[in-house]
Structure 1
Amino acid sequence: MNKLLTCTTALVLTLGIAAPVMAKDTLALVVSTLNNPFFVSMKEGAEQKADELGYKLIVLDSQNDPSKELSNIEDLTTRQVKAILLNPTDSDAASNAARMVNRAGIPLVTLDRGVTRGKVVSHIASDNVAGGQLAGDFIAEKLGKGAKVVQLEGVAGASASRDRGQGFALAVAAHGFDLQASQPADFDRTKGLNVTENLLASKPDVQAIFAQNDEMALGALRAVRGAGKEIIIVGFDGTDEGIAAVKRGLLNATVAQQPELIGAMGVEAAVKLLNGEVIAEFQPVPLQIIVN
């Protein structure tokens, strides 16, 4: 009898079924692009929190392409994920992706940027309007009323672009700035460089530049240095490279978000929802302005 039990036990162990192993529940994060340090940090924050809470996290990169984003979402709706975290490429275009998630009956949480249409259980982001105004207030502190400024806008249609622009517009009105130009550079460093070079050629008296993210601010910095000018540059996001540039006196300021915290809060929100807890429709993430 003992010999039989021993043989049976050995067989069970050999087959790998000695003890039931529960598969981890799976969440998914669809990020607008991983070619940007801010969103890499967001991904890392989400991954760390998912691991801490015992969930598997699938991460898909939309490469700033709404059609790729929709394809990513379509893929995930067939993979039995428990919840989807979406950082949209474009708030309007992402509405189709959101509705696809809704039809699949999967909870949707948006990070940093919202979607124009579709049901979202929670949106987690910095107060981008307040951040844009904060950037303008900083410029006013340095230059006073009536300063000649330009703005580098992010991706057209992204809620972050609209909100940061709205906040900066409030500061422009409050401080009587001469807004000489406001042009998109798609949150991209190279485009930030090229757009700024063109603006400096046509607007040689510019005193300050507000870039809606640090990547564009760093591009603008290259253009300003190449032109041999002294211009105040304020970025947004508080990326490691952006903060380092501020500390070195290259950028004047950056409105710092906490991308790791946004990612982590997204995972926490999804897990709470899956556990039957009530979560807020909007969860603001604190920000601050970092200056040299």
Structure 2
Amino acid sequence: MKKLILATAVAAGLGVGTTQSAMAERIALVISTLNNPFFVTLQEGAEKKAEELGHELIVLDSGNDPARELSNIEDALSRDIDLLLVNPTDSDAIGSGVRTANARDVPVITLDRSANSGTIVSHIASDNVAGGELAAEFIIERLGGEGQVVQLEGVPGASATRDRGEGFMAGIEGETGIELVATQPANFNRSEGLDVMENLLQAHDGIDAVFAQNDEMALGAQRALQAGGLDEVVLVGFDGTDDGIEAVKDGKMAATIAQQPARIGELGVATADRLFNGESVESSIPVPLQLITQE
């Protein structure tokens, strides 16, 4: 039976497990940040599947820094990995790292966010455009087709930011009673979601709904809305994290568009395993979304 090596790199450095098997294929997972519950869950899904299939997994945290991400990829490649799983910090910036892996003949699979250049074997993600549209449809229905809306965007340049925004804008387009009064980045970060929402509330009166492109920003926005006595504002997040779903249950958020981060991580390793076995894989593997409300 194959055993697993698990090495996780965080800001403090590398922690390496003590068991090893020469039989295991070596996979690196370079992840955008582990300072976000969504990506922690994605990592856990990948770890579980790697242990199940008997592969060695190295996890490297990029801390939302493209330069550190490239360094992590170079570090992983120096360890003679057999495949690179990457959750990009930025869909443009990741191209350099992907091309570096391509030059070493190491297959690359992207998770949750895509790469705009380089050769990718497969991309595994939710349909973020459809998720943005789903958020728009829910808000329009809850507002009865009339109201002022703001959008909190994720990290500029990330495909998830672009796609969720595209879907949301397409969803409200043509709705003459819906006015998008502001759309501003808060970088998928809870504290930035709070700060940006506070500024938007000072700049705009009568906000009726907020679409935050992830639950972390939504939870930050919720604190600002609560402090302002605006609990009636329709607040919709994205990801379906444990904290996000709990906030929906408690009535602090109206809804969240739930992804399956653990499933994305699992599918990444499972797809790698198929490649190791000489099987063909799909160039795009969608993971279903679900609208979570109190109802």
Could you tell me whether the CA contact under 8 Å between 1:150 and 1:179 is conserved in 2?
yes
Could you tell me whether the CA contact under 8 Å between 1:190 and 1:219 is conserved in 2?
yes
| Cα deviation digits, residues 246-286 of structure 1 (max 9, x gap) | 01111100000000000000001111011110100000000
The one-letter code sitting in structure 1 at the alignment partner of 2:96 is N
CA distance in 2, matches of 1:55, 1:168: 39
| Cα deviation digits, residues 140-186 of structure 1 (max 9, x gap) | 11102232100000000000000000000011104332000000000
Could you tell me whether the CA contact under 8 Å between 1:95 and 1:115 is conserved in 2?
yes
Please name the residue that 2:227 is paired with. Answer: 226
Residues 1:83 and 2:83 are matched in the alignment = yes
The SS at the match of 1:210 is strand
Please name the residue that 1:104 is paired with. Answer: 104
Please name the residue that 2:269 is paired with. Answer: 267
The SS at the match of 1:106 is coil
The one-letter code sitting in structure 2 at the alignment partner of 1:219 is G
CA distance in 1, matches of 2:221, 2:205: 14
Please name the residue that 2:279 is paired with. Answer: 277
The one-letter code sitting in structure 2 at the alignment partner of 1:162 is R
1:240 Cα deviation from its structure 2 partner: 0.4
Please name the residue that 1:9 is paired with. Answer: none
Higher deviation after alignment, 172-181 or 90-99: 172-181
Please name the residue that 1:68 is paired with. Answer: 68
Alignment map for 1:36-75 (pairs within 5 Å): 36-75=36-75
CA distance in 2, matches of 1:275, 1:63: 33
| Cα deviation digits, residues 36-95 of structure 1 (max 9, x gap) | 000000000000000000001000000000000000001111111110100000001111
The one-letter code sitting in structure 2 at the alignment partner of 1:243 is I
CA distance in 1, matches of 2:163, 2:49: 28
Could you tell me whether the CA contact under 8 Å between 1:30 and 1:86 is conserved in 2?
yes
Aligned length: 272
Of Structure 1 and Structure 2, the greater helix share is in 1
1:289 Cα deviation from its structure 2 partner: 0.5
CA distance in 2, matches of 1:42, 1:274: 21
Of Structure 1 and Structure 2, the greater strand share is in 2
CA distance in 1, matches of 2:155, 2:290: 23
Could you tell me whether the CA contact under 8 Å between 1:144 and 1:175 is conserved in 2?
no
1:22 Cα deviation from its structure 2 partner: 3.9
Please name the residue that 2:192 is paired with. Answer: 191
The SS at the match of 2:145 is coil
Match of 1:235 among 234, 237, 241: 237
Please name the residue that 2:259 is paired with. Answer: 257
CA distance in 1, matches of 2:103, 2:146: 51
1:232 Cα deviation from its structure 2 partner: 0.7
1:26 Cα deviation from its structure 2 partner: 1.1
For structure 1, list consecutive stretches of 5 or more residues without a partner in the other structure. Answer: 1-20
The SS at the match of 1:183 is strand
TM-score normalised according to structure 1 size: 0.92
CA distance in 1, matches of 2:136, 2:109: 30
The one-letter code sitting in structure 1 at the alignment partner of 2:68 is K
CA distance in 2, matches of 1:126, 1:245: 22
| Root-mean-square deviation over aligned CA pairs | 0.9
| Cα deviation digits, residues 201-229 of structure 1 (max 9, x gap) | 11121100000000000000000001111
The SS at the match of 2:73 is helix
The SS at the match of 1:195 is helix
Decide which structure has the larger Cα Rg and report it.
1
The SS at the match of 1:289 is strand
Please name the residue that 2:16 is paired with. Answer: none
Please name the residue that 1:28 is paired with. Answer: 28
Could you tell me whether the CA contact under 8 Å between 2:140 and 2:172 is conserved in 1?
no
| Cα deviation digits, residues 84-116 of structure 1 (max 9, x gap) | 100000001111111111111100000000011
Could you tell me whether the CA contact under 8 Å between 2:155 and 2:185 is conserved in 1?
yes
**Following superposition, which runs of at least 4 residues in structure 1 exceed 4 angstroms of deviation?**
none
CA distance in 2, matches of 1:247, 1:261: 23
| Cα deviation digits, residues 221-242 of structure 1 (max 9, x gap) | 0000011112110000000000
